[in-house]
Chain A
Amino acid sequence: MQKSSDIRTGVRAGLPLALPTLVGGVTFGVLAQPVMGSVAPVVMSLIVFSGAAQFAALTVLAAGGGPIAAIAAGMMMNGRWLPMGLAVGPFLTGGPRARALQSLALVDASFALSSRGDGTYDRGILIGATLPQAVAWVSGTALGVVAGPVLGDPMALGLDAMFPAFFAVLLAAEARGRLPRNAAIGGALIALALTPFAPPGVPVLAAVAAALIGLSRPVPRAQPVTA
């Protein structure tokens, strides 16, 4: 198995995400404070640490929904951790408890950065790249809760557009070669088809199924399967 990178290398890889993640945290803090009070949003960012799940649950609570509906909305966003966890799992180290702890580092950007493109994943990059995002997410939430009324509209600076741009940069590097390009096109089409009506979380989870076209690659001693 290829050697894992140093965690410091991962931290450097994750640094460009610190600013947009901070702004994401501020946005969450500003929106959550009137609904949840001042302490709960920060605790949530610290122990849930999943932006998509937190925004989904907040949307339900802000609309007057109960905890069951809010939990369900949040868990819909979590579905994609299952296939992503399956992909990175074999490259984490230690016993089950240690690997479960390392799985906390699983977030979209770090997952993509840690992908080597040959099906293997770099543990040092995964964990290292998550650290600056975790610090930025939690401190951003605290900043949003405290300074929300003074900050004005965080969307005015367009910083929310930095996430799709970041993912597009990684995609341009990942989607080289016929199969990766087709998987990307498949994932984009599935997301595009489902976004208009599927519940939040479902389009991105379903899009991961496009990776199954990998089964069409002929492998010695195995029946070729067409996707």
Chain B
Amino acid sequence: MTAVWITIAALAVGTFATKAAGTLVLGTREPNERALSVTALVAPALLAALVVYETLSDHGEGITLDARSAGLAAAVLAIAARIPMLGVMLIAAGVTAGVRAFS
């Protein structure tokens, strides 16, 4: 049990330190144009990586094509059809559940 509590304490401190470190480094000065043209692109790069990783990662061990991929494909179609966000998310869940149920 001690191992569990050591892990929790260290990760609580480590996670907070990592989040705080990045936000404190630059202070509150308005970033210059060049910095802004990079930070503007962090969100699209991160989002694309999260879509890939959370759809294809085999729980942190390699890559796999499973029911989640079908859910994402349905979500992309739903986005193209201009369905609102919650609808897209429910369609992805429904298709994923359906594929899991029949496989």
Q: Which of A150-169 contact B (CB under 8 A)?
A: 155-169
Selected A-B contacts with CB under 8 Å, 12 pairs: A40-B8, A44-B8, A61-B3, A82-B21, A99-B20, A121-B39, A164-B50, A166-B88, A168-B88, A171-B48, A190-B49, A214-B34
Q: B53 near A191 (CB under 8 angstroms)?
A: yes
CB-nearest residue of chain A relative to B98? A158
Q: Is A135 an interface residue (CB 8 A)?
A: no
* Contact among A80, A159, A163 with B46 in the assembled complex (CB-CB below 8 Å): A80
Complex contact A167–B50 (CB within 8 A): yes
Chain A, interface size: which category?
Answer: 35 or more
Chain A, 39-72, CB within 8 A of any chain B CB: 40, 43-44, 47-50, 53-57, 59, 61, 66-67, 70-71
Q: B51, A119: Cβ atoms under 8 Å?
A: no
User: Which of A78, A119, A163, A165 neighbours the largest number of chain B CB atoms within 10 Å of its CB?
Assistant: A165
A-chain residues with CB within 8 Å of residue B93 when the two chains form the complex: 157-159, 161-162, 165
Top 3 A-B pairs ranked by shortest CB distance?
Answer: A85-B22, A119-B36, A158-B96
CB-defined contacts of A188 to chain B, threshold 8 Å: 48-49, 51-52
In the complex, the chain B residue whose C-beta lies closest to that of A157 is: B97
Please, how many angstroms separate the alpha-carbon atoms of A87 and B91 in the complex? 32
Interface residues on chain B, number (Cβ under 8 Å): 79
**Per-residue contact bits, chain B 65-97, to A (CB 8 Å; 1 contact, 0 not):** 001100110011001000001101111111111
CB distance from B17 to the nearest CB of A (A): 9
A71 to B6, CA, bound (A): 9
Q: What residues of chain B have their CB less than 8 Å away from a CB belonging to chain A?
A: 1, 3-8, 10-12, 14-16, 18-31, 33-57, 59-60, 62-63, 67-68, 71-72, 75-76, 79, 85-86, 88-101
Assembled-state Cα–Cα distance A203/B55 (Å) = 13
Q: What's the Cα separation between A118 and B54 when bound, in Å? A: 26
Task: Name B61's closest neighbour in chain A (CB-CB).
Answer: A200
Contact A92 B23 (CB under 8 A): yes
Find chain A residues with CB under 8 A from B22 CB. 81-87, 89, 103
Contacting residue for A156 out of B20, B57, B100, CB 8 A = B100
